[in-house]
Amino acid sequence: MKDVLQKIKAEAIEALSSRDADLEAIRIKYLGKKGELTGVLRGMGQLSPEERPKIGQLANEVRSEIEELLRKKKEEYELRAFGISPDFDYTLPGDEVPSGGLHPITQMCYDLNDAFRSMGFEIFGGPEITSEYYAFDNLNFPPNHPARESMDTYWLEGHDSGSASDKLCLRPHLTGDSVRYMATHKPPYRFVYPGHVYRNETTDARHERAFFQYEALIVDKDFTFTAGKVMIKSILSKVFGRDVPVRMRAGFFPFVEPGFEIDMGCLVCGGKGCSVCKHVGWIEIMPGGTPHPNVLRAAGLDPDEYTGFYVNIGLDRLVMMRYGVDDVRLFHGTDLKFLKQFH
Amino acid sequence: MKVSLNWIKDFVRLPDDADMKKLAYDLTMSTVEVEDVEELERRYENIVVGEIKEVLPHPNADKLRICRTDVGGEVKDIVCGGSNLEPGMKVVVACPGALVRWHGEGEPVEIKNAKLRGVESFGMICAAVEIGMEDLFPATDDHEIVDLSAFDAPAGTPIAEALDLCDYILEIDNKSMTNRPDLWGHYGIAREIAALYDLPLEPIPAADVSCDTPFDVRILDEERCPRYIGSRIEGLSVKPSPFKMQTRLWRVGLRPINALVDVTNYVMLAVGQPTHAFDATHIKDHIEVRRAADGEALGLLNDKELKLSSDDLVIADAEGAVALAGVMGGAKDSVLPDTTSVILEVANFESRGVRRTALRYDNRTESSSRYEKAIDPERCDAALSMALSIFRELYPEMKITAYSDKYPTKLVKKEIDVPLEWLDRRLGMRIPKEIVERKLGTMGFEVTYTDDTMHVVVPTWRSTGDVGIKADIMEEVARMYGYENFEASEITTSFDGAINQLDRDLVRRIKEYLAFRCDMQEIFTYPWMSDEFVAALTPSTDGILALSTPPSPTEKYLRSSLLPNICRAIVKNEHSFDAFDIFEDAKVFLDRDYTNEYPHESLPKQERHLGLAFVGRPENAERLFRRAKGVVGSMPRYTHMEGYTFERVEKPYWADEVAWLNICLDGKKIGDMGLLSRKAAVGCGIKVLTAVLVELDLDSLVPFKSRTNRFERVSDFPENTFDISFLIDSDAKWADIHDAIIGKKAEGDLLREVLFVDEYKGRQIPAGKKSVTVRLVIGSDEKTLTGDEIESVASGVMRKITHKLNADVRTK
């Protein structure tokens, strides 16, 4: 009988060792009213009085051992979750999430919008087909400025001769919009005007016929160019998420006086010099300056009273530099494999 | 433009140990962008003068020789295939470590000791092309090596020293000085450096031009030619110019030709004033500066034969045109091999005319690119003086035999009053008077004061358009003081309310909705359309604007719709993806409804549109349509704008006959949606996939003034759903089914919503029928419904389906 008890115990332990053992069935099989252990206890009457307490004690030990194992196994089960199998492969890839996105230039534009808006700038936009008057005349471009020639500007068929008001073109730059804004608002001004511009150029990795500019203009009674430098520095630092060194050097553009080329410290090498910055540590990112008195006059302002600061950021270039994109034509190339890299 | 530092030093005494890096930096910060500084002798490291002692035959090669060559204290054997090797000849030896270009081709390679056909050779004896000096030492045959016998330098002298190449060359970005006609010569750059470092600037000594015989010069168009100095100079000859002059020209990128031509180029590079020499024997009677006759012929020095226009200005003699003014001399009458006397032209031509002419014949030159920046006529004096003094040096016997200076209207110097208070305010600081005076003075500005106003007289070389207003003076002061020396000032602006731009915020919300909620990718395309896409998607080109100089002959039309370029993007991507959704936000242009929104212009209609394409396999066309409808239909709710409706007003030209809708707001059509017809798809060249296109006028959308949502108390009692499927005629419309089931809704109705679940045609469904499954949402605000109550609502619906829709309920 002792052997029978040992066998029951061994069998129960064996049954409970399987990972997904059915605890209730095991309990019934061994400990239930008609269970095997109970069966042994029932047969105790046939034993000698000396054996009875020994076997009784042994049977109780076996019972409590099985009960203890059942309890532990139940605890173990409770720590598991429903609906998962033991061979669940947690290395499988997660489900794809929607991969739609904004164009990287839109992203850059929105980053700048957020930065400028945080400094109280309004966002403005003008027409993409403009008259020569707003493209050149009121921006202080001399009548024979090269930019006016068809080699640089897309003039419209049937609208390519006559007076500056009659001639229409795809805007070659955004600056005309600043006059449109000023003509319809009251100073002081603080606004940005991003958008597409178009130049009749031969294209290559660095030249495109359609590209994106981002201009900002502040016009107030007293605004020195050094304040402009502070402004640019804070905008770029916000956009790029780190302190960005900025320098202003001599530059010339018809609609500013004085004019600057504004460089930012190369983000790739931190100013030490690398191939991206042609080993000078600085990257030319925007022209800027104080609006030319003629531009302010075209907007109906007295240039002795008002001054300001203007910058023109090439968004394509900024994105190229931000991500190391090496061909400007990719932006209008509509290749989704390219566009889907930017989030 | 290339600038030689040695040349600069003719005019401004720079310290010998001037830090070139700093000079380039300072010039870049204050004046022009220095793109590169090259220490010229670096190119010629390990290249020395050698003297051939002996020329021996090569044992293994007929065309090679072994030259016993003195390379400075040592005699080395060098194997060479030169055609002109002679004992006693001085040559260029590239020693091991030197960089040369093999036969003038490919990337520079480093010279190493090598065996040539079994004979050890120390370095290499160079031909001109191998060290990039073919312009300085033109070869008469391919195997000719450079002969330095005429030079004093002994064997072993570094070549840079022997050929006067110890110089720095600054490469200046031309674009950074288009507004500065005064900088297009070494003297102008020297003037800037003088002002930067407060150094004295050497004057250009005036030469004696006295001559009693006038030269007959007639200016017939004084507007286009403000000044013309013609001098007849005799006692000249065509010979090479001194090597010192040749190497200077060569160092800054010009090819030396002969002394007469080199002098004119030298003067131009020194002072920025082009000059020209005619063979005096070819000039008949007089010089006249006049407009060309239409069709007048002129052959240029570069062999171009032109038929001139009456807008061109020419230099002519009694017989005809001899030069295109300011652009290029004529081939027949300029310096010729036998020239011994010249007419030296030092003249001023009006900038825009020169530019027009140069562009007309695609013939821009060093001369025209200088004139088109507007050179001041006073500069002729410096150019003439320098030219004459060099001629006198080269040709001691020369004589000026006739001379005339026609300068009818003297250039007036600009004068500018600058209130000091204004200057201080704009600079944000006061710069000491003596610094202002010194900087401006060195640059040629005359400065005087009355009370608190500075009077500035602008030098002639800055008076042709460059400097004219007080802001220009402020710029001169600020840049020479150093932009980096200004303290950063604070930005002070007034607060004038929060920025509130509902329309811009709406467009951004829409784009973010499409990208992030609807999984669509934004694209940009060009504003012009390709003809094949226009033909496929628009009924005609009426009312479409076009470019007069399009990017290509088949891309002249400006987009009147975003769809042609979106279809082009589909073609571009359909082989890389099975399904994709794209959108674009851009302007379209129409040749109508011209408006005068801003003064002085009338512009055609330009609308901001949103274009969408849902692209996938043709078998999924119906799914695509429903997806498109879902994205567009839910847009008002998620982007907080006035809702629009789908209507059937007018089928879009390009759409399938059934699968299309119009989008309407307040009774006005603001957009289209549809599945691309087969004809349109074929026209676009879309081969594998199909697409549902949507185009919407963004300007017509009306944003809510703030976030707009409707709160409803959530019922405490559970809602129940109940699905019913039924067979119905296959052309039945959901809109009718829905209306029939839900009927007129009343307060307290237990049937809250009827939702579309699915429809199915095909196997097990009789022809002409479809199976539709709807989901009833049943609930009450007052209690939990019993099973019987729910059943009773569902039975009611089933009766409606059976009787009102004449359909056959299949399951429940």
Contacts of B488 in chain A (CB under 8 A): 226-227, 229-230
Report whether pLDDT(B682) > 90: yes
Which 3 state secondary structure label does DSSP give B537? Answer: helix
pLDDT at A217: 93
Which chain A residue shows the shortest CA-CA distance from B476? A258
* Whether the predicted pLDDT of B602 surpasses 80: yes
pLDDT score of A274 more than 90: no
- Given a contact cutoff of 8 angstroms between Cβ atoms, the answer to whether B741 and B796 are in contact is no
Question: Is the CB of residue A101 less than 8 Å from the CB of residue B515?
Answer: yes
User: Does CATH place domain B217-406 in 2.20.25.90?
Assistant: no
Q: Which residue has the higher pLDDT, B101 or B194?
A: B194
Task: Give the single-character DSSP code of B516.
Answer: I
Question: pLDDT per residue over B207-216, tens digit each?
Answer: 988 888 999 9
What pLDDT was estimated at residue B810?
A: 84
CB contact under 8 A, A156 and B548: yes
The minimum CA-CA distance between A30 and chain B, rounded to whole Å, is 45
Q: Are the C-beta atoms of B439 and B477 separated by less than 8 Å?
A: yes
Structure tokens at B405: 């200076």
As a whole number of angstroms, the distance between CA B653 and CA B539 comes to 7
Q: Which residues, in sequence order, are CB contacts of B546 under 8 Å at separation 6+?
A: A156, A157, A158, B556, B557, B558
Phi, psi of B214 (to 5 degrees): -75, 145
Across the range A143-161, mean pLDDT stands at: 73
- For residue B662, the cross-strand partners are B647, B672
pLDDT of residue B227: 97
Q: Which CATH number fits domain B415-481: 3.30.56.10, 3.30.360.10, 1.10.3720.10, 3.40.50.620?
A: 3.30.56.10
Segment B718-749, tens digit of pLDDT: 999 999 999 999 999 999 999 999 888 777 78
Pinpoint the alpha helices (H) of B272-364: 351-360
User: Is pLDDT at A144 greater than 70 in this prediction?
Assistant: no
Q: What is the pLDDT of residue B452?
A: 92
pLDDT beyond 90 at B570: yes
Backbone angles phi, psi at B514, to 5 degrees: -65, -40
> How far is it, in rounded angstroms, from Cα B370 to Cα B272?
7
Question: Is the dihedral angle over the CA atoms B536, B537, B543, B546 positive or is it negative?
Answer: negative
Chain A closest CA to B606's CA: distance in Å? 7
Structurally, what CATH architecture does the domain formed by B42-162 represent?
Beta Barrel (2.40)
Instruction: Check whether the bond before A258 is cis (ω within 30° of 0).
Output: yes
pLDDT band at A138 (very low <50, low <70, confident <90, very high): low
Helix axes B186-197, B259-271, angle to 10 degrees: 30
Asked if the Cβ–Cβ distance from A332 to B504 is below 8 Å, we say: no
pLDDT recorded at residue A222 = 80
Residue recorded with tokens 């002679």: B86
Taking contacts as CB-CB distances below 8 angstroms, the residues of chain B near A260 are 483
User: Is the confidence at residue A149, as pLDDT, over 60?
Assistant: no
Q: Give the residue from A122, A233, A252 with the most B CB atoms within 10 Å of its CB, the best one to mutate.
A: A252
Those residues whose C-beta lies under 8 Å from the C-beta of residue B512, and which sit 6 or more positions away, are A102
**What are the phi and psi torsion angles at B750 (to 5°)?**
-80, -30
Whether B691 contacts chain A with CB within 8 A: no
Q: Using CB atoms within 10 A of its CB, is residue B552 exposed (0-12), middle (13-18) or buried (19+)?
A: exposed
CB contact under 8 A, B32 and A334: no
Question: CB–CB of A102 and B478 under 8 A?
Answer: no
Distance from CA of B33 to the nearest CA of A (A): 8
For the ranges A160-169, B314-323, B564-573, B686-695, which has the lowest average pLDDT?
A: A160-169
Rounded to 5 degrees, what are φ and ψ at B729? Answer: -55, 140
Closest in A210, A257, A336 to B576, CB measured: A336
Q: Residue B530: helix, strand or coil by DSSP?
A: coil
- C-alpha span between B195 and B218 (Å, rounded): 40
Name every residue whose Cβ is closer than 8 Å to that of residue A89 and which is 6 or more positions away in sequence: none
For chain A, the farthest-separated pair of C-alpha atoms sits apart, in whole angstroms, at 131
Per-residue pLDDT at B165: 92
A181 pLDDT above the threshold of 70: yes
Cα B653 to Cα B693: distance, rounded to the nearest angstrom: 12
Mean pLDDT of B286-297: 96
Asked if B453 reaches chain A (Cβ–Cβ under 8 Å), the answer is no
Q: What pLDDT is recorded for position B717?
A: 92
What is this model's ipTM? 0.88
Q: Is B808 exposed, middle or buried (0-12, 13-18, 19+ CB in 10 A)?
A: middle
Average pLDDT over residues B392-408: 95
Task: Round to whole Å and give the CA distance between B227 and B408.
Answer: 7
Please provide the distance, in angstroms rounded to a whole number, between the alpha carbons at the two ends of chain B: 87
The pLDDT of residue B542: 93
Residue from the list B428, B512, B577 with its beta carbon closest to the beta carbon of A336: B577
Q: What CA–CA distance (Å, rounded) separates B248 from B256?
A: 9
Maximum mean pLDDT: which of A163-172, A227-236, B172-181, B449-458: B449-458
**Residue A188 preceded by cis peptide, ω within 30:** yes
Residue B788 Cα distances to B726, B781, B792, B793, angstroms:
22, 17, 6, 9
Please tell me which residue of chain B has the smallest CA distance to A125. B504
Q: Say if residues B656 and B676 touch (Cβ distance below 8 Å).
A: yes
Tokens of B729: 């005629």
Cα(B578)–Cα(B438) distance, integer angstroms: 72
User: Three-state DSSP class for B545?
Assistant: coil
Query: Which among A59-68, A159-168, A214-223, B548-557 has the top mean pLDDT?
Result: B548-557
Q: How many CA atoms lie within 13 A of B717 on its CB side?
A: 12
pTM over 0.90: no
DSSP string, B704-757: -SS------PPPSS--EEEEEEEEEETT--HHHHHHHHH-S--TT-SEEEEEEE
Residue type, B666: D
Residue A200 with chain B: CB contacts under 8 Å: 549, 551
Kindly write down the DSSP assignment for every residue of A256-294, as one continuous string: EEEEEEEEEE-TTTTTS--TTTTTSSEEEEEEEEEEPHH
DSSP bridge partners of B75: B70
Residue A150 has pLDDT above 60, yes or no: no
- Count of alpha carbons within 13 angstroms of residue B546, beta-carbon side: 17
Sign of CA dihedral B421, B422, B425, B428: negative
* Cα–Cα dist A272/B804, whole Å: 81
CA distance A317 to A285: 7
Residues A138 and A148 sit within 8 Å (Cβ to Cβ): no
Rounded to a whole number of angstroms, the distance from the CA of B198 to the nearest CA of chain A is 19
* Minimal CA separation from A88 to chain B, in Å: 30
Give Cα A187 to chain centroid, integer Å. 35
Contact list, A103 vs chain B (CB under 8 Å)? 522-524
The dotted CATH code for B502-700 is 3.30.930.10
CA angle B627, B629, B632 (to 5 degrees): 110
Distances (CA, A) of B506 to A102, B635, B642, B698, B704: 15, 11, 11, 9, 9
Place of tokens 């329309």: B503
Distance CA B759, CA B737 (A): 12
Contact B598 A184 (CB under 8 A): yes
Q: Look at the alpha carbons of B94, B96, B99, B103 in this order and tell me if their dihedral is positive or negative.
A: positive
- The secondary structure element, H or E, covering residue B690 is strand B690-697
For residue A140, the model assigns a pLDDT of 63
For chain B, the structural domain boundaries read 2-33+173-197, 42-162, 217-406, 415-481, 502-700, 720-811
B77 pLDDT exceeds 70?
yes
**pLDDT tens digit sequence for B630-667:** 999 999 999 999 999 999 999 999 999 999 999 999 99
> What integer is the mean pLDDT of B140-162?
92
Tell me if domain B217-406 and domain B720-811 are identical in fold.
no
d(CA B101, CA A147): 40
Q: What is the pLDDT of residues A315-325, one digit of tens each?
A: 998 898 888 88
Mean pLDDT of the B306-318 span: 96
Could you give the percent of chain B with pLDDT greater than 90? 83
Identify all chain B residues contacting A118, using CB atoms and an 8 Å cutoff: none
Structure tokens at A44: 């105790």
CA atoms of B764 and B318, how far apart (whole Å): 102
* Torsional sign, CA A164, A166, A172, A177: positive
| CATH architecture of the domain with range B720-811 | 2-Layer Sandwich (3.30)
Give the gap in angstroms from C-alpha B577 to the nearest C-alpha of chain A: 9
What percentage of chain B's residues is helix, strand, coil (to nearest 5)? 30, 30, 40
Whole-angstrom Cα distance, residue B441 to residue B313? 37
The pLDDT value recorded for residue B306 is 95
Using alpha carbons, select from B102, B126, B121 the residue that is nearest to residue B50: B126
pLDDT at B78: 93
Tell me which of A97, A99, A102 to substitute to probe the interface with B (most B C-beta atoms closer than 10 Å).
Answer: A102
B165-179 pLDDT, tens digit per residue, is 999 999 999 988 988
- The model's pLDDT over B243-282, given as tens digits with 9 standing for 90+, comes to 999 999 999 999 999 999 999 999 999 999 999 999 999 9
Torsion sign (Cα): B148, B151, B156, B160: negative
pLDDT tens for B15-52 read 877 888 899 999 999 999 999 899 999 999 999 999 99
Contact B95/B158 with Cβ under 8 angstroms?
A: no
Question: What mean pLDDT, rounded, does chain B reach?
Answer: 93
Best A212, A334, A335 member to test B by mutation, with max B CBs in 10 Å, is A334
- Residue pair B523/A103 in contact (Cβ under 8 Å)? The answer is yes
Measure CA B252 to chain center. Answer: 25
Among A336, A338, A342, which would you mutate to test the B interface (most chain B Cβ atoms within 10 Å of its Cβ)?
A336
Query: What share of chain A in percent tops pLDDT 90?
Result: 32
pLDDT of residue A146 exceeding 70: no
